[in-house]
Amino acid sequence: MPEAPSAVVRMWRVRPWNPNPLLRVSDRFEVLVRVLAVLAVVVAVPISGAIGTVSYTGAVARIAAQDAGKTQVTATVTADAQLLPTADHYGAQPDRYQVPVQFMFDAHARTATIELPKPKLSGSTTALWIGPEGNPTMAPARPGSAAAEGVGTGLAILVESWCATAASVWITAAVLDSRRSARWEREWRLLNRPIGKDSL
């Protein structure tokens, strides 16, 4: 019994430029699409890496500019915290509290109203980040935020490109299979005689 040809041989036989007349145009086109899809998947890796690197570099510069001049001070709570109303009635979001505070900036006392995740009583203290102008601001970005942004962007581009490539291959195969099935059905009707018209 002859051995079945290897996968490499089978792939070589269905190459788009194969002169075999039994290889249909649709088969050649489908193989070409799959070859291009493999190339797209491979090329997407370095491209996604380059985009992720650019995103990381931009994130580093942006975060450095945003965090420049931020200073942490100790603020004194001047009134009991008030629970902020929330639109979520199912408790999925954590409670937030609003509290007035007083702090020193540039040798002058300043006041502000901030939000806290936990309630504070009047007279207690809390850490507060302020910007170059002495206004309350967000805490500096965590270490690794720029790297996480760069990696996330690169992976997102890679996954999206792979999904688009897979969808293109699937759609192409589905359309070609549908066209081939319709053609086979037409040819089968031409070969078969209508029922009741057979002759001996």
Tell me the pLDDT tens digit for each residue of 119-161.
888 889 999 999 888 889 888 888 889 999 999 999 999 999 9
Backbone angles phi, psi at 186, to 5 degrees: -65, -45
Query: What rounded mean pLDDT belongs to the chain?
Result: 83
Which DSSP symbol is given to 136?
A: B
Q: What is the DSSP string of 184-196?
A: HHHHHHHHSPPTT
| pLDDT recorded at residue 200 | 46
Residues 6 or more apart from 52 whose CB is under 8 A from it?
Answer: 150, 151, 153, 154, 155, 157
| pLDDT recorded at residue 88 | 58
For residue 189, CA distances in Å to 99, 175, 180, 182, 192 come to 82, 21, 14, 11, 5
Residues 6 or more apart from 156 whose CB is under 8 A from it?
Answer: none
Tell me the pLDDT tens digit for each residue of 157-181: 999 999 999 999 999 889 888 888 8
Do 14 and 31 contact (CB within 8 A), yes or no?
A: yes
**∠ CA(137), CA(140), CA(144), 5° rounding?**
155
Instruction: Please determine, for residue 195, whether its predicted confidence score (pLDDT) is greater than 80.
Output: no
Round to whole Å and give the CA distance between 53 and 90: 41
Instruction: Please determine, for residue 9, whether its predicted confidence score (pLDDT) is greater than 70.
Output: no
Mean pLDDT of 33-52: 93
| pLDDT recorded at residue 55 | 95
Residues 6 or more apart from 96 whose CB is under 8 A from it?
Answer: 83, 84, 86, 115, 116, 117
Round to whole Å and give the CA distance between 139 and 119: 19
Mean pLDDT of 36-62: 94
Round to whole Å and give the CA distance between 50 and 62: 18
| pLDDT recorded at residue 13 | 56
